[in-house]
Every structure is written in structure tokens, then in C-alpha cells.
Amino acid sequence: MLGLISACLAQLVPRVRAPLEFRACGEAFECAELRVPIDHERADSEEIALAVLRVRATGPGERIGVLFVNPGGPGLSAVDYLRAGASRYGVALRERFDLIAFDTRGSGASAPLDCRESLAAYFAQDPTPETDAEWQSALDASRALADECARKHAGLLPFIGTRESAADLDALREALGEQRISYLGFSYGTALGASYAATFPARVRAMVLDGAIEPSFELTVFAREQAIAVEGALTAYDDAAAEKGWNGIAVLEAVFARAEETPLASGASSVGEPRAARSSDILYGSVEALTDPDEGWRELALALGAAQAGDGSRFVSLSDRYFQRRSDGSSGLRVETQLGVLCADLHRPASAQAFRDALPELEREAPHIGVANLLSHLPCAFWPEPARPFEPPRMAGAGNILVIAGRADPLTPHVWGERLSAALRGSTLLGVDTREHTAYGRGRECVDQAVVALLLSGEAPATAPVCP
């Protein structure tokens, strides 16, 4: 993947950038907009504005520089993420760094993609179509979403992807007047960080990639390996449920089958009027709960109990939280942007039929989530822009990069971290015994200390830390 980024971005047209003009925007936050070309390779390209948020270093120690943070997604607002939780970075980092977040293009307040007219049908489609009629319904919903995005955002869609966001990140570095940056990225944010590091290695002072993704995937492999990780979390939940007397997988299967026949009555919804819980709500609500073995697993047990009694409200709420649905019908997750990035970045099946042909293997390897996980990307079969997939990253001398991979992370499997660390030769891989998605800032002293030590010193430890 990242080798192609280097080749592509080597042709960037240089521009002289004016310093950013920040303004106070609540508490200790400062806001600015950075104007960047839609097409970094064309000097006459139209520009878009990227939303930027800064929290200045508090001292008293000497300021080291800037620390970019990205929560992943793709499609999440990094600005909202930093605004909601600047304190998660701890005193040591906030004293020495200006914390910087920017909404990647297509997300948050940075020329956001908005295809909400088609989102309701997309969310409502049967996640496991078995009949030709159900398959046709999935095709129709996916095509409608792709068509709406093509109609509304024809000028931007060709330039939505990780390679463009990496170029935007470097433009922001320049506008801030920084020679080098430090970076802390989570989940998809690791793909963006790795892309930047491989493209601009001399401009990276220190980097932490938590919940790592090695992003040179074929889409069906991506969906299968992620689904297998979710299945592992579901099995672990089932074991815990047996010990605690909770409802387990058998009840989940029964509730899902019941909702496929007739949606479960519900008094909940984040989108307009309350709606009944569909099978898609059961599935995605379960995935949302599985990412948090503490509160989330308990929520899943309660949701299953309520659904058994015919009340789907808890699953509707969990599903809405998963997609970050809003009352106006939009998604805080920016599903449109997530699809735009992944459809561009990944090797994708050649046709809708190729998606369908891949389903039996996915169902065998991940019977509860495999089919749904691949079909959530079915709009890629109709996406108006061709894929621009990457080759595996090639980078040596990455001694200032720490890659973190949870051994039982339900969304970014440990093997992805192994691949990314191997590609970023010289980086340090930190494996963590956790069932949570990402590890930093979750009260694990060993992980937090390793992250802070790398970011403050700019050098990886001589020996890889081992965190229980």
C-alpha cells in the first residue's frame, strides 16, 4: 500500500502556505481552518477547508512540539474526539505537546460527505440475505447509497482516501511551522499514520499506532479476518455468560431469527420516531457491546433478556450508538466517508456477484458476523470511483514507531499489528492481553508508560515491553 503512496505523492505541487490563524473556541481549545487543494497534484485545483483544533502545551516543561491525534473510523471527527477527551492524554503529554486534531476530508467539518437520504435503507437492509429477493433488496440499498454520493459529491469523491489525507496531514504540519511531528493514532488512524510515515519518513519524530491495521488488504480478507476477531469476542462473551448466568449465543441466535421474521417492538430511536428492532439492530448492537468487556457485555446480556420478552429497545439504542445515528438521519460515524475511503484504498471484488460468491466462505469461518461484515461494504460494487489499492508498506529504520496490538482485540486482530510492524522495519510491536479495542488510555499502566516514554523521548525502548 504505502509504496504506491510514496510514488503518488512524490509529484505533489509545492505551495507556500500561510500560517494558520487560530481563534479561541471554548475552554482551552483553539480552532482554525486549513485550505488544501482537492487534488494535491494540480496547482490550479479547487480548495477545501479542513477543520483543525489545538490544545496548547500547558508546561511547565519545555515544549517538544505538536502531537497529532486521530481516533480512526475512517469517518470519525478527530476534532470532536479531541474536544471531548483531551484529558485522556495525561498530564505528561499535555505539558510538553500542543495537541492537534484535524477532521480528515469528507468527515466532521471538513467538506463532509452527506448521503443521508439513502442511509436509512442501507442501515435497515437484511445483514444476512438468503433469498434472491433479500439479495436484490441489499443491492438496491447499496446502489442507492453509492448513487446519491456520486450525485452530490462528484468533485470530491475521486480524492477521498488515505493517500489524500496523508498529504493533508503534511500540509498541516507545514502550516503549523513544524519540521517534524509526533503522532498518536487509533484503529484506522494507524493506517493514516503508517501511510504518512512511509511517505514522509524524515518528518516523523515519534509515532504510536494503537489497534493497528496493515492497510494493503483485499476487501474480502479484511472483512473475514475482522469478522473472525468479532466471533472470538462473541465466544468469550458466551463463556462469561455461562459463568454469570447471563443470556448467551443461543439466545442471541433465537432473538436474531425472531427479528428477521418480525422486528421487535421498541420505544427507542436516535433517529426521529421510535422504531422496531430489526435483525440488523440485533447484529450491530451486539458488535457495539462486544467491544467493551466490562459495561458492554453486561449491556448485551440485558438487551438479550429484554428482547426475549419482546422489547427491542436496548438493541435499537446499541445499534444507534454503533453508527452514531443522529436525529436528522445523518451518522456521526460518517458511513459515507468510511465507504469512500475503504472503497478507494482496498482491493475490492470486481462485481456485486463477486461479493455474493465470497459469502459462503465467510459464513463458514465467522457464522454470526462474516456475511454482514462483507456486505456492509457492498456499496463498493457500485462506487463511482475506481479503487486505488495500495501495495504492502515498505519502510526501514522505523525505530521511532511503536505499534500496539491487542491479542484479542475484537475489531483490529493482533495479526494486523504483526504485519504492520514487520512492514515498518525497526518499529517496536507491543502485544497486549486485552479484549478491548485499542489499549492506550484505558487504565493499563504498562501500555500508558510505554506510549508516554516513546513520545517524550522520540525513541523506542531497547527491548520490546511486555504488557499483561
Active site residues: 187, 409, 437
| Greatest alpha-carbon span in the chain | 66
DSSP code string of 211-259 = S------BHHHHHHHHHHHHHHHHHHHHHHHHHHT---HHHHHHHHHHH
> Do 12 and 71 contact (CB within 8 A), yes or no?
no
398: Cα within 13 Å, side-chain hemisphere: 28
CA 78/CA 109 separation, integer angstroms: 10
CA 66/CA 140 separation, integer angstroms: 46
Cα-Cα-Cα-Cα dihedral sign, residues 348, 391, 156, 124: positive
DSSP code string of 143-165 = HHHHHHHHHH-TTTGGG-SHHHH
Report residue 91: phi and psi, to 5°: -65, -40
Cα-Cα-Cα-Cα dihedral sign, residues 177, 183, 184, 189: positive
CA angle in degrees (0–180, nearest 5) for 83-428-215: 65
What residue ranges in 407-464 does DSSP mark as E strands? 428-432
Q: Look up residue 366 and give its DSSP letter.
A: S
Map residue 125 onto helix, strand or coil.
coil
Q: Look up residue 391 and give its DSSP letter.
A: P
> Do 194 and 217 contact (CB within 8 A), yes or no?
no
Among 176, 177, 173, CA closest to 204? 173
> Do 315 and 281 contact (CB within 8 A), yes or no?
yes
